[in-house]
Amino acid sequence: MAVKTILQAINEALDQAMEKDESVVVYGEDVGFEGGVFRTTAGLQKKYGEGRVFDTPIAEAAIAGSAVGMAINGLKPVVEMQFSGFSLPAYNQVVTHVARFRNRSRGKYHLPMVIRMPYGGGVKALEHHSESLETLYAHIPGLKLVIPSTPYDAKGLTMAAINDPDPVIIMEPKRIYRAFKQDIPDEPYEVEIGKARMVKEGKDITIIAWGALVREVEKAMKTLDVDAEIIDLRTIAPMDTEAIIKSVKKTGRVLVVHEAYKSFGPAAEIISRVNEEAFFYLEAAPRRLAGFDVTVPLPKGEGHFIISPEQIAYEVKKLMAEKA
């Protein structure tokens, strides 16, 4: 066991995957010599050479498109979009080719490729650096989308994504890349894609979150005398509906917390599933606390956009006071 941050855990997963399998290649803007803008890939080029870890031009569509060709021809590309907001130029490639190739070839071709992208606010970055775009990618059939919130999950989900025969997108909460450390196994391991994590069992209310906001939920609940069940969704697509419904049937109340824009966001989908499968167990109308439907503000205004533990606690108190 070793104590590592989320960033270090991802680096270790990439290192161990490359060591085990020579078909794994890592590339993107500045991931080679510099080791990535956040240093997630630090040391990999020196260890595995410029043939397997290399820099690319600022051309996100080319990064995603070339990975399709590599994956079809036997490699396992792990590409990095420097920030999730920069992935939009590659969106056409991701939606029309990455997500569809297995279906288009009637199963003849799988695309064992991974797209990593730091996402979310909280680091006072520039425009296009702070978006939470999970809605865009979770909506597309053929894509899996995972979001770790702990070092253990960061390593295990990255390993699982690399070993998956189909494309997986990993959105990495950059706000907590170095925020805390956790003991994780030295040896390679996987965290199953599609399974939520029970952060804390409880009986009064179900709170569902992912990424950096899991920690904010935990902070909020330390201020309240409420026995909350906290679920880290961990995989946005495919979603662990069973875990959600099981919890809501026990607590009768549900709050979904996410950074993505509120309108048409993941919370709307989660609450719809709750209404479809657990409506008669509800003690109050489900609620969501999400990002405002505005462009993520620049650094001076970011504090007005980022969801705080105080806001979460306020929503929990309101929900606990309501009756169906």
> Taking the chain (324 residues) in consecutive chunks of 10 residues, what is each chunk's mean pLDDT?
96 98 97 95 98 97 97 97 94 97 94 97 86 96 98 98 98 96 97 98 98 98 97 98 98 97 97 98 97 92 92 97 79
DSSP 155: H
Q: Answer whether 143's CB lies under 8 Å from 167's CB.
A: yes
Cα distance between residue 204 and residue 297, in whole Å? 35
Q: Looking at 129, 139, 258, 304, which residue is catalytic?
A: 129
User: Token digits for 203?
Assistant: 């009986």
Q: Answer whether 35's CB lies under 8 Å from 41's CB.
A: yes
3-state secondary structure of 228: strand
The set of residues, in sequence order, having a beta carbon less than 8 Å from that of 213 and lying 6+ positions away, is 257, 258, 259, 307
The set of residues, in sequence order, having a beta carbon less than 8 Å from that of 143 and lying 6+ positions away, is 94, 98, 99, 137, 167, 168, 169, 237
Cα distance between residue 87 and residue 60, in whole Å? 6
pLDDT, position 124:
84
The set of residues, in sequence order, having a beta carbon less than 8 Å from that of 314 and lying 6+ positions away, is none
3-state secondary structure of 116: strand
Cα distance between residue 206 and residue 244, in whole Å? 8
- Its pTM stands at 0.96
pLDDT, position 87:
95
Q: Answer whether 134's CB lies under 8 Å from 266's CB.
A: yes
CA atoms 55, 60, 65, 67: torsion sign: positive
Question: Which residues make up the CATH 3.40.50.920 domain(s) of the chain?
Answer: 197-321
The type of residue at 184 is I
pLDDT, position 324:
63
Cα distance between residue 127 and residue 101, in whole Å? 32
The set of residues, in sequence order, having a beta carbon less than 8 Å from that of 48 and lying 6+ positions away, is 18, 26
pLDDT, position 282:
97
CATH class of the domain at 2-184: alpha beta
Question: Which residues make up the CATH 3.40.50.970 domain(s) of the chain?
Answer: 2-184
For domain 197-321, which CATH number applies: 3.90.1150.10, 3.40.50.920, 2.20.28.10, 3.40.50.670?
A: 3.40.50.920
pLDDT, position 215:
97
Q: Is 129 a catalytic residue?
A: yes
DSSP 67: H
Cα distance between residue 172 and residue 16, in whole Å? 19
CA distances to 145, 182, 324 from 169, in Å:
5, 23, 38
User: Token digits for 202?
Assistant: 């409880």
3-state secondary structure of 14: helix
DSSP 97: I
pLDDT, position 160:
98
pLDDT, position 291:
95
DSSP string of 242-299, one letter each residue: HHHHHHHHHHS-EEEEEEEESTT-HHHHHHHHHHHHHGGG-SS--EEEEE-SSPPPPG
DSSP 61: H
User: Token digits for 247?
Assistant: 């919890």
Half-sphere exposure of 151 (CA within 13 A, CB side): 22
